[in-house]
Amino acid sequence: MSDDQTGRREFLARSGTFLLLTGAAGIAWDAVASGEPEKAPNYRSTDHWWAMAIDVEKCIGCGNCVRACKEENDVPREPFYFRTWVERYHVPEGDIERPEVDSPNGGYDGFPEKYRAGDGAKSFFVPKMCNHCAHSPCVQVCPVGATFESPDGVVLVDKTYCLGCRYCVQACPYGCRFIDPRTKTVDKCSLCYHRISKGLTTACCETCPTGARMLGDLKDLKDPIHDFLRTHKVQVLKPQMATGSKTYYNGLDGSVR
């Protein structure tokens, strides 16, 4: 009798373990079958947490980043859509509520001079791009899971899955998304995911002549971005929206929207 009971208990325990293990194996197999990010040698997406630091005081408005980004990421040339662009601010003295902002062709051809020195206003350039928010409004509104925050903190688009419904275009508070007229799906800055996962920097950082942009891995304690964030007083755009933006601006004026 007691032998019989032990046998039954053992049988239940064993079959339970078996079921648990096959479940775990199933999940593991899913990861293998789906083309895991670890396929790129030496790159584990969970080891990184990407961010961008932008030094407004260094930007000279040459437009190198805009041109390089278009080349690197095959962003449609005309009409003018951008994954990154540069804005010129012209702020009348003491009136940060009413800045004059222009961005001719996103800064693709630079900025033809239209202001005169000594007019009592301050002028500066602000490079803009996807802020790669940790709590992205655009990701939250996507009805099909076609846009997402990757394990390494990059907001990406699954082009094969995007319906082109434009919810995310409206949801992004920074205006960083557009519908690619060729594919009718959404497009945005991918933080040059094809480059940063191969140990290269983004095209905009690569071509910025003054080092106004700095890509950084917040999980890598040796990354110079930590030094930058420690030694500069930085701000994110629209902090009141609690987007968890990871694009940190140094020297950001209160007039910048």
Partner 1 sequence: MGGFFGHKGHLVRVAALFAAGILVFLVLQALLVPKGFGVYGHYRAGALDDNRARPLMHAGRAACVDCHADVWEVLQKGKHGPVHCEACHGPLARHAEDPSAGKAVKPDPKLLCARCHQEGVARPAKFPQVDVAGHAGGESCTSCHKAHDPLEQAAPATPEKKDAAAAVPQKGAGQ
Reading the block at residue 118, the tokens are 């000594």
Neighbours of 20 (CB within 10 A): 10
Verify binding: residue 68, partner 1, rule CB under 8 A: yes
Task: Rank residues 8 and 114 by Cβ distance to partner 1 and give the closer one.
Answer: 114
SS3 68: helix
Q: Which DSSP helix (H) or strand (E) runs through 167? A: helix 167-171
Task: Rank residues 39 and 233 by Cβ distance to partner 1 and give the closer one.
Answer: 39
Which residue in this structure is represented by tokens 């197999």? 29
Site string for partner 1, 181-210 (x = CB under 8 A): ---------x--xxx-xx-xx-x--xxxxx
For residue 177, give the nearest of 80, 246, 103, 83 by alpha carbon. 83
Task: Rank residues 3 and 124 by Cβ distance to partner 1 and give the closer one.
Answer: 124
Verify binding: residue 36, partner 1, rule CB under 8 A: yes
Which residue in this structure is represented by tokens 């951008």? 82
Total residue count of the chain as it appears in this document: 257
Verify binding: residue 255, partner 1, rule CB under 8 A: no
Verify binding: residue 1, partner 1, rule CB under 8 A: no
Verify binding: residue 37, partner 1, rule CB under 8 A: yes
Contact between residue 181 and residue 164 where contact means Cβ atoms under 8 Å apart: no
- Sole binder of partner 1 in the list 49, 52, 66, 88 (CB under 8 A): 88
Verify binding: residue 61, partner 1, rule CB under 8 A: yes
Verify binding: residue 238, partner 1, rule CB under 8 A: no
Contact between residue 226 and residue 49 where contact means Cβ atoms under 8 Å apart: no
Helices H / strands E in the chain, number of each: 7, 11
Shortest CB 200 distance to partner 1, Å: 5
Verify binding: residue 45, partner 1, rule CB under 8 A: yes
Q: Are strands 50-55 and 247-250 parallel, antiparallel or unpaired?
A: parallel
List Cα–Cα distances, 107 to 57, 68, 70, 87, 214, in angstroms: 17, 12, 12, 7, 19
Binding range to partner 1, per CB under 8 A, among 4-12, 14-22, 85-93, 237-245 = 85-93
> Nearest 5°: CA angle at 184, between 207 and 107?
30
Verify binding: residue 233, partner 1, rule CB under 8 A: no
Task: Rank residues 10 and 74 by Cβ distance to partner 1 and give the closer one.
Answer: 74
- In the complex, the residues that contact partner 1 under the rule CB under 8 A are 27, 30-31, 33-37, 39-40, 45, 57-64, 68, 71-74, 88-90, 110-111, 113, 115-117, 123-125, 145-151, 156-161, 190, 193-195, 197-198, 200-201, 203, 206-211
